[in-house]
Amino acid sequence: MNGGVNGGVDDRLNDMEAEALRLDATDPLPALRGDFHIPPAPGGPYAESAYFAGNSLGLQPRSAARWVNEELDDWARLAVEGHTQGRRPWVDYHEQAREPLARLVGGLPHEVVAMNSLTVNLHLMMASFYRPAGERTRIVIEDTAFPSDSYAVRSQAVHHGLDPERTVVRLRPRPGEEHLRTGDVLGYLEREGRHVALLMLGGVNYLTGQLMDMPAITEAGRAAGAAVGWDLAHAAGNVPLRLHDWDVDFAAWCSYKYLNSGPGAVAGCFVHERHVRDPAVPKLAGWWGTDPATRFRMAPEFSPPATADAWQLSNPPILALAPVLASLELFDRAGMDALRARSERLTAYLAARLSRVAGLEVVTPADPAARGCQLSVRVPDAAAVAGRLAAAHGVVADTREPDVVRLAPVPLYSTFHDCHRAGTALRAVLDHRPDG
């Protein structure tokens, strides 16, 4: 017989752990955990972390070092000749990312390019697609946009001699609600669309984890006569995307979160083919954006190709782009649709475990179709809670001040057992008693 109340609680914990392990053993797409370096647990009974901070910085693929070291070796052996004689010549190195990036975001190969960082790319896109004229001057974003996006659009308004307080419109959820309703976005565009020059929202909200209805919003924005761009920092590598089919004007994303390409990794950009083939679209020009067939003629006139490469400014940073290619290999191996299905299973399991924690408010939509893999929970003193999760239980999460802990079960490397650990740890941290 068990030893009373505590024995009963322990038995239930053991049963839940066994169930998590069974799910890991039988999942249709097992985690590619062995392809990543899993950090050691900061504390607790397990050797490895249960890592839920991939929405801030993804884990390092084990193959990344090989990709980087091969370029270091070519640099050592070949020096400048590595541009043309390396095993992956540097002169067109970025082109290796073209097709896997297109598969990842649902674009055509000539519509995507790996370049720069996210906010630089957003500014380059706005230089082309934010063209205020007459009464059509507004830039529409969500009120909970990532701060960098807020700064960028305000500075664009100022750059055009406009008052950002009047030019930038921040769409807010209804009073008492956490999420921006699609119907409210569409309603604003129907009422005020004649004033909107640019609609630029986050595909997945960084704070709440809400997945926006990108096809419906894009269609409404374009019908209103606005350019439509998406910040996909929390969407690329998290949810399937069909940018070309959705008729998106442009999109940009970073590569260090769900794309697991390292801190400050080279970002990506999408420009719809109707724009890349239109020489009248204005753009800021740089050497690497000119046609590679004539680039080394060193002519003073800019002659861009009919691809997204035309928005490049400088030659790509090879050592920073190599880990992007390493990561894209893993996405091609798993497939984005299969990863999304696994993500929905993992996130649903984690949501069920969190529902057992009294007093915990999950601010991410409950509908699986309206969220990515991130679950955001509101707790008092989020930083202290995250610190105890790591120190006492080896569960690594991140926070957003003052009261949100974000947990992202990334399908490439997170497991059901990780989710079990997170639920158990949050229960223990928040009410100081074992899970039951």
Which residues does the annotation place in the binding site? 118-119, 146-149, 231, 234, 256, 287, 315
Residue 7: count of CB within 10 angstroms of its CB: 11
- Kindly state the DSSP code that residue 176 receives in the 8-state scheme: T
> For the segment 322-372, what is each residue's pLDDT rounded down to a tens digit?
999 999 999 999 999 999 999 999 999 999 999 989 888 999 999 999 999
Is it true that the peptide bond before 317 is cis, omega within 30 degrees of 0? Answer: no
**Mean pLDDT, residues 113-142 taken together:** 98
Judged against a pLDDT cut of 50, whether residue 75 lies above it is answered with: yes
**pTM, two decimal places:** 0.94
Give pLDDT, residue 432: 67
Q: Which domains does the chain have, with CATH numbers?
A: 5-60+335-431 (3.90.1150.10), 66-332 (3.40.640.10)
Positive or negative, the CA dihedral 175, 144, 198, 257 is negative
Which residues does the annotation place in the binding site for pyridoxal 5'-phosphate? 118-119, 146-149, 231, 234, 256, 287, 315
Instruction: For 90-141, give the DSSP string.
Output: GGGGGGGGHHHHHHHHT--GGGEEE-S-HHHHHHHHHHHH---BTTB-EEEE
Judged against a pLDDT cut of 90, whether residue 283 lies above it is answered with: yes
* Average pLDDT in the chain: 95
